[in-house]
Homo-oligomer: A and B are copies of this chain.
Amino acid sequence: MKPLESLRSWMASEGLQVTIIPSNDCHFDEYVPARYKVREFLSGFDGSAGTLVVTAAKAALWTDSRYFLQAERQLAGSGISLMKIKMPGTPAIPQWIASECEPTATVGVDGDLFSYDDFAAFETELKPIKLRTFTDPFDMLWQGRPSLGENPIVLHKEEYAGRSVAQKYRDVTARLAVDGPFCLFLSACDEIMWLLNLRGGDIEYNAVTLSYCLLTDKGITLFCRKENLTAEAAAYLASQGVEVRPYGEIDAALAALPEGATRIVSNNCCSINKYSIFRRGGHVIPDPTVGGTVAMLRACKNPVQAQGFRKAFLQDGVCWVRLLKHIYDNYDSGTLNEYGITQKLLEIKSGSENYQGESFEPIVAWNANAASAHYSFSDEASSARVNGGGFLLMDLGSHYPYGTTDTTRTIFLGDKEPTTEQKEDYTLVLKGMIALAQAIFPAGTRGCQLDILARGPMYRTGKMYFHGTSHGIGQWLCVHESPQIRMEYSPITLQEGMIMSDEPAVYVEGGYGIRTENVIHVRKHSQTEFNTFFDFETLTLVPIDRRAVDYSLLTENERMWLEDYNKRVYEMLKDHLTDAESAWLLNYIG
């Protein structure tokens, strides 16, 4: 039986007329372990965002504009309709369900995959159609469903983390400032890894293990696959007074919390199942910290962590110079392609001391391929040959135990000169990147207030990019974490120690994509009678290509910034490079 038919049989046996299958796992992480790619298994669509809705007769998949083309291709012949989110005429999921079902129908969702907020919203919008939860039936329906594997859970040493778990426990409880018994329930894996100085390997590119955590007035209890803890990690947790219990015992532990203890959910992504158990027997209060107590403590890197990031970016710079030299040395041979460059990159990186793998899927995109912000080629054969001249965009990042990198450079290759439009686009992106990097701002400033600095220069040509300008970066964790700098409002303020990207871009469909990304670190700039002011330290140490710079568009200040930056890159890297590499770099930065 085909997957959808198996699901429908199961639905009939459960008395469900509809099921909604989201893309996330129980922890609402950005990426999902293979075991939880149920929506992909059922629909064949493997984009990162999409919601599948199945009725007895029909099925439809909602996804956003990033995935329209891919979804059309992958859904062809499946009988699943594509629902293009935010396009005119596309119904919302509850509307569509109402049009397909009797008012007496029942919709089922996996109560561990639906957040409390989403469940409540759907419940209201679906009325009179009923919404109820079920428990993951896919072990039965999905032949050969991947297991979570036996990825070790390792210690993240204090020499990198900068603080012990006991210290973090005190930091968190001080910030929560609850009187009497309380329990903070954590279900975001990267928050738990940060709190417990652990790292895992359950999710590609993200060094986390699937886990839950309860932090109470008595101490910390971790719920994970205990057997995967290394001896070192287990001993460390014991030394810090952390109790470790099996992953599957979280529901029982939530149910057994002391009556009356104040309950706090660390963020909005608590599932309806867990929330329903958690709120029994005690009042749930919102997390007192905007953005989440644990998430904000994690976002503000301490000096030990910041030093680790500096080291990681030094190694990142060395790898980049090797890769760039390889590209320039071999460009004329006509043998380069996107695949080969990616392989070369991984080869270079694998020789970098303490390298723990890439922090996201590498992007190597030639000309028009770079016009989609998250391009990846599917295999060697389909990867583009890098010749004929143009822009090569590379967005690459690595994990080291002490820091995670994320760097984008766009270089102009070939004998032909860049066109006026290409130079203007490249230079305006660079101006935006420099403007944000040079910002000085008072305490209390939110990301959306600084966003215009990165975007503003490009607006002059009527162009804009549709992604955020900046995201926080985890330390050997998730490369995307809070805070963000975006056009959209978020109440999170920028605070000392935050490490984040600075990545304005421009995408010309059918032409090219240009993105220049440095990573910046919020530091104290001054303390005056008016306020505390912050500025950014630039951590990235990768030369910026000058071939497509139109100097007439740069101010004197920007020209000097660029020159000083490339000089600093050379000075910082030269002792870590071979003579040939060092000479190449000196020549490259002019």
Q: Give the B-binding residues of A (Cβ under 8 A).
A: 439-442, 444-446, 448-453, 456, 459-460, 462-464, 487, 489, 491, 525-528, 530-531, 533, 555-557
Could you tell me the distance between the alpha carbons of A534 and B463 in the complex, rounded to whole angstroms?
12
A464: B residues at CB distance < 8 A: 442, 530-531
Partner among B442, B444, B463 whose Cβ is within 8 Å of the Cβ of A459: B442
Alpha-carbon distance A451/B451, docked complex (angstroms): 11
The CA-CA distance from A449 to B533 in the complex, in Å, is: 19
Q: Point out the residues of chain B lying under 8 angstroms from A527, CB to CB.
A: 462
B residues near A525, Cβ cutoff 8 Å? 462
* CB–CB A459/B441 < 8 A: yes
Identity of the chain B residue whose Cβ is nearest the Cβ of A490 in the assembled complex = B489
Closest approach, in angstroms, between the C-beta of A455 and any C-beta of chain B? 8
A462 near B555 with CB under 8 A, answer no
Q: Are A456 and B442 in contact (CB under 8 A)?
A: no
Kindly state the separation between the CA atoms of A523 and B446 in the bound complex, as whole angstroms: 27
Q: Which chain B residue lies CB-closest to A442?
A: B464
In the complex, the answer to whether B440 meets A459 with C-beta atoms within 8 Å is yes
Residue of B nearest to A528 (CB): B462
Q: Which residues of B contact A526 (CB under 8 A)?
A: 462
> What is the chain B residue whose CB lies nearest that of A466?
B530
Contact yes or no, A530 B462, CB < 8 A: yes
Contact B441 A452 (CB under 8 A): yes
Name the contact of A533 in the complex, choosing from B439, B445, B462, B557 (C-beta under 8 A).
Answer: B462
> Which of A439, A453, A463 gathers most chain B CB within 10 Å?
A463
Q: 11 A–B contact pairs at CB < 8 A?
A: A440-B456, A441-B452, A442-B464, A444-B487, A449-B449, A449-B451, A459-B533, A462-B526, A462-B527, A462-B533, A489-B489
Minimal beta-carbon separation of A56 from chain B (angstroms): 35
- Tell me the minimal C-beta distance from A557 to chain B in angstroms: 7
A-B CB proximity, top 10 nearest = A462-B528, A440-B459, A462-B526, A555-B555, A464-B530, A489-B489, A449-B452, A440-B460, A463-B530, A462-B533
Chain B residues with Cβ below 8 Å from A451 are: 449
Contact of A463 among B450, B460, B528 (CB under 8 A): B528
Nearest chain B CB to A502's CB is how many angstroms away? 15
In the bound complex, what is the Cα–Cα distance between A444 and B452 (angstroms)? 13
> CB distance A439 to B462 under 8 Å?
no
Closest to A460 in B: B440
Bound complex: CA A439 to CA B445 (Å): 20
Note all chain B residues with C-beta closer than 8 A to A555: 555-557
Instruction: Report the minimum CB–CB distance from A355 to chain B (whole Å).
Output: 38
Task: Report B-chain residues with C-beta under 8 Å of the C-beta of A445.
Answer: 452, 487
Give chain B residues whose Cβ lies under 8 Å from the Cβ of A460.
440
Residues on B with C-beta less than 8 A from A459 are 440-442, 533
CB of A513 to closest CB in B, whole Å = 14
Chain B nearest Cβ from A496, distance in angstroms? 15
Q: CA of A452 to CA of B530 in the docked complex: distance in angstroms?
A: 16
Bound CA–CA A449/B486 (angstroms): 10
Minimum Cβ distance to chain B for residue A443 (Å): 11
Q: Kindly list chain B residues whose C-beta atoms are within 8 Å of the C-beta of A444.
A: 487
A-B contact sample (6 more), CB < 8 A, given A441-B456, A463-B530: A440-B459, A440-B460, A445-B452, A462-B528, A489-B491, A555-B555
Q: Are B487 and A449 in contact (CB under 8 A)?
A: yes
A531 neighbours in B (Cβ, 8 Å): 462, 464
A180 to B57, CA, bound (A): 38
Q: Cα distance A452–B441 when bound, in Å?
A: 8
Q: Which residues of B contact A556 (CB under 8 A)?
A: 555-556
**Which B residues touch A440, using CB under 8 A?**
456, 459-460
Residues of B within 8 A of A450 (CB): 452
Distance of A453 Cα from B439 Cα, bound (Å): 10
Shortest distance from the beta carbon of A368 to any chain B beta carbon, whole Å: 16
Q: CA separation between A525 and B460, bound complex, in Å?
A: 9
The interface residues of chain B lying within 8 Å CB-to-CB of A463 are 528, 530
Residues in B neighbouring A462, C-beta threshold 8 A: 525-528, 530-531, 533
What is the minimal beta-carbon distance from A460 to any residue of chain B, in angstroms? 5
Q: How far is the CA of A448 from the CA of B448 in the complex (A)?
A: 8
